[in-house]
Amino acid sequence: MAVAPGPEVLEFRVPTEPCKTLLVWGLENEEEHSLYSVFSEFGLLYSVRVHRNASVAEPGYYALVKFYSARDASRAQQACSSQQLFQKSPLKVYVCTRQKAFQQQVLSLNSYKCQELANYYLGFNGWSSRIFTLQNLSGFEKEGNEVPGGLPKSQCLKYLCAQEVMLPHHGICTRGIGVAEVSVENNQVTQTRSVMKLAVQRALSDAFQKILLVILENGKVAVEYSSAQEDPFDSLTEEEMKGLIQGFHGKLYFFHWKSGLEGISLG
């Protein structure tokens, strides 16, 4: 399947388009590592999944190889189909034409995948991130959660992180918010570090959602701010942002529609 010429726009989202997924048929063994080595030569991969053939089919395996770029997937299909590659019999490689409806929901990339995608197209020095707020929001939800004697049965450990991603070569700076929480029994706060880490990861992923990578036919990369995700949060000064987080005396409200954080009440 040929890909239309022109720039290709990539978002920091889980790729769901059929044109970015290859079906590899005719695998003799569960060769996930070999598949990754071969197909990653054509571009960054989101995932490689190997499955056993159905019982009614001939013995063997098939794989789904998911790219971020439809152009990379097309090049890989044309180069690898009917080739032996790493086994004696040739493989059949197809561009998927349809996927189940539930796979079409748009999901944000996690922070690790966001960094992987940014590093691949922008380079390790092409972007940076900075945490400017990591706020402990625990302790606001104790009402009705006490046993005789005055001690809480459990404590909600909650952190909020505000983080920004900067692309200095493109003059773009975006911000993201991440909230993480867990119930800790008997007031034993043993998961603080993991909750803080999760809030940081969610904030980084959130900031990347406003960035579009524009891949030109010559391989060069341009970057755009996603106007569909335009957020007043990005225009606040750091002092204004900190004041917004700290100044509501136990209640925090964000109309942060893109992340689904709408009216977070902590009191």
Which position has the higher pLDDT, 173 or 238? Answer: 173
Which position has the higher pLDDT, 191 or 259? Answer: 191
Per-residue pLDDT of 29-48, as tens digits, reads 888 888 999 999 999 999 99
Say what the pLDDT of residue 184 is.
74
**Quick check: 118 pLDDT over 90?**
yes
Phi then psi dihedrals of residue 181, to 5 deg: -150, 155
Separation between Cα atoms, residue 37 and residue 251, nearest integer Å: 50
Separation between Cα atoms, residue 173 and residue 190, nearest integer Å: 35
Range with lowest mean pLDDT among 8-12, 188-192, 212-216: 188-192
Q: Where are the domains of the chain?
A: 17-104, 111-262
Q: For the chain, how are helix, strand and coil distributed in percent, rounded to 5?
A: 30, 30, 40
Separation between Cα atoms, residue 4 and residue 161, nearest integer Å: 40
Read off the pLDDT band of 129 (50, 70, 90): very high
Domain 111-262 in this protein, CATH class: alpha beta
End-to-end alpha-carbon separation of the chain, Å?
55
Say what the pLDDT of residue 72 is.
95
**Quick check: 213 pLDDT over 70?**
yes
Say what the pLDDT of residue 236 is.
64
Identify the bridge partners of residue 131 per DSSP, sorted by sequence position.
Answer: 163
In CATH, the number for domain 17-104 is 3.30.70.330
DSSP 8-state secondary structure symbol assigned to residue 78 = H
Identify the bridge partners of residue 129 per DSSP, sorted by sequence position.
Answer: 165
Any idea of the CA torsion for 107, 126, 45, 112, to the nearest 10 degrees? -50
**Quick check: 267 pLDDT over 50?**
no
Read off the pLDDT band of 248 (50, 70, 90): very low
